[in-house]
Structure 1
Amino acid sequence: MARTEYYDDPDAPQPNSMVVAASAVVTDERGRVLLQLRRDNGLWALPGGGMDLGESLSGAAVREVREETGLAVEITGLVGTYTDPRHIIAYSDGEVRRQFNVCFRARVVGGSPAVSDESTDVRFVAPEDLDSLPMHHTQRLRLTHFLENRPTPYLG
């Protein structure tokens, strides 16, 4: 299924759903950040996705990281909340969503990096190499906030 992201675009389609989602900035012992190359839009992104009924938001982040990258993680903190109504995500099946995303900090506790059916590549990337990767503005914003090592989470 294809995915198109819009940001502050007057031609973006009107949302027909609201999704609560979680993502995680996972780092390794060298301070590199775990990213996946998304199959649905060809852009690099943090692992994450929608919360299922019956799970916590932090639990959703842990599950999504495992499903999308093969790695087991432990949540260690909060990067921020991302609720900008100018960010619209349209899928080829007709869903057009606004997404409420909570981005966590996490560390690896097990597993091995693996590509999933949602990605074509999974790797740890050094912070100085992040700018060279094609990535949506909203993903880059989360990474920027993480790298700033803010004393309090971003609330936006």
Structure 2
Amino acid sequence: MKKDYITEIRKKVGHDPIILTFAGGILTNKNNEILLQKRADFNSWGLPGGALEFGETAEEACKREYLEETGLKVKVTSLLGVSTNQIQHYPNNDIAQAIVIAFIVKYLKKDEIKISPETLALKYFAQNELPSIFNQQHKKLIKNYFSGNYPFFD
């Protein structure tokens, strides 16, 4: 049975601040609209992605999280950027410095898996029609994508 890394760490440190590494990416349709996920934890929109499991690469985590959260199999095509300056306060009182490794991904195919309950909705959005995004880090990733400023780091 695969252990959930964050759950195991949180059993030891409670809600204390920790550093976590996440991977995700931007998937676009033919109109250059980006796929966003309405997240259950914040009840707000963000990019699909999630925390790396122990021993997993960022690319593997990105592909796994896309499958779990969207039901889509994707291929990583390039690095979007690395963002390290977000202190995230979660609704359950967890605190983490989020290190995000973001990619540009390409759609391969839809899978018939059950989508994670972390996902309330999925929708493509044009640059000028973006909904409220749940944190500054995801806003920065989206802004850098649409401005063509990648790969970037902060």
Do both share a fold (TM > 0.5)?
yes
Distance of 1:29 and 1:108 partners within structure 2: 11
* Letter in structure 2 aligned against 1:134: S
- Offset, 1:102: 0.7
Check whether the contact 1:15–1:98 (CA below 8 A) recurs between aligned residues: no
1:127 Cα deviation (Å)?
A: 2.1
Classify the secondary structure of the residue corresponding to 1:23: strand
Identity, in percent, stands at 25
1:72 alignment partner in structure 2:
73
- Larger helix share, 1 or 2: 2
Report what 2:10 is aligned to.
none
Q: Which contiguous aligned blocks of 4+ residues in structure 1 show a shift greater than 2 angstroms?
A: 90-95, 112-116
Tell whether the 8 Å contact from 2:41 to 2:91 is kept in structure 1 after alignment. no
What is the CA–CA distance in structure 2 between the aligned matches of 1:122 and 1:111, rounded to whole Å? Answer: 13
**Equivalent residue letter for 1:139:** H
Q: How does 1:49-68 map to 2 (within 5 A)?
A: 49-68=50-69
SS in 1 for 2:132: coil
Q: Quick one: distance in 1 between partners of 2:89 and 2:101? A: 20
In 2: Cα distance, 1:127 partner to 1:32 partner: 7
Contact 1:115–1:121 under 8 Å retained in 2: no
TM-score (norm 1): 0.80
Q: Residues 116 and 83 (structure 1 numbering): CA distance in 2 closer, same or farther, change over 3 Å?
A: same
| Aligned-residue offset at 1:73 | 0.5
Q: What TM-score do you get using the length of structure 2 for normalisation? A: 0.81
Q: How many residues align?
A: 138
Q: Map 1:1-156 onto structure 2 (within 5 A).
A: 16-84=17-85, 87-111=86-110, 116-130=116-130, 133-135=131-133, 136-150=135-149, 152-156=150-154
RMSD: 2.0
Q: Distance in 2 between matches of 1:32 and 1:93?
A: 32
SS of 1:83's equivalent in the other structure is strand
Given that residues 78 and 153 in structure 1 are in contact (C-alpha distance below 8 angstroms), is that contact kept between their aligned partners in structure 2?
yes
Q: What amino acid sits opposite 2:50 in the alignment?
A: G
Gap runs ≥5 in structure 1:
1-13
How far the C-alpha of 1:15 sits from its partner, in A, is 5.4
Asked if the contact 1:15–1:88 (Cα under 8 Å) also holds between the matched residues in 2, the reply is no
